[in-house]
Amino acid sequence: MQCASAASCAPQALVEKLQAESRDSASAVTAVTARWAQLMDVEVPQALQEALQAQQAECEVVVGRKGVIIEAARNILTAQDDEFVSTLRAQAEVSTGERAPLVNKANRLALASFLPLCRTWMLCWSA
């Protein structure tokens, strides 16, 4: 499969990263969850503190990997937004023969309906 631009190939690469991360984090979460039962049997406070710190470090690794995926998604969204704006600009120039403003009533309506969806998507991934 060939893509028209790097921005159009990026979502497929992101989906593949998300699938791989999902598999990896599922196994990491299973391992962390399994250790909780062992932690309940630890009676020495210092040993419990060390074990909890190890659990926290493992959780931070999982969250950090998710942060990388979120940043990649943001970069893809920004690239696609830039491509969308340049396409709109090119279409406006072709249709009018001059450089037209990008923000007109039709564009505002389209963006107004699209932005809440983007915000919701980014909030879900940021959580």
Kindly give the confidence (pLDDT) of every residue in the chain, 127 residues in length, as a single tens digit, with 9 standing for 90 and above. Answer: 455 555 456 678 878 888 888 888 888 888 888 888 888 888 899 999 999 999 999 889 988 988 888 888 888 888 888 888 888 888 877 777 666 555 566 666 666 666 666 666 555 555 5
Structural domain range at position 41: 7-126
Q: What are the Cα distances from residue 97, in Å, to 52, 90, 108?
A: 66, 10, 22
Split into its structural domains, the chain has a count of 1
The answer to whether position 15 is within a domain reads yes
The answer to whether position 97 is within a domain reads yes
The answer to whether position 113 is within a domain reads yes
Question: Which pair of tokens denotes residue 66?
Answer: 């998710």
The answer to whether position 99 is within a domain reads yes
| The Cα angle at residue 53 between residues 31 and 39, in degrees rounded to 5 | 55
The answer to whether position 1 is within a domain reads no
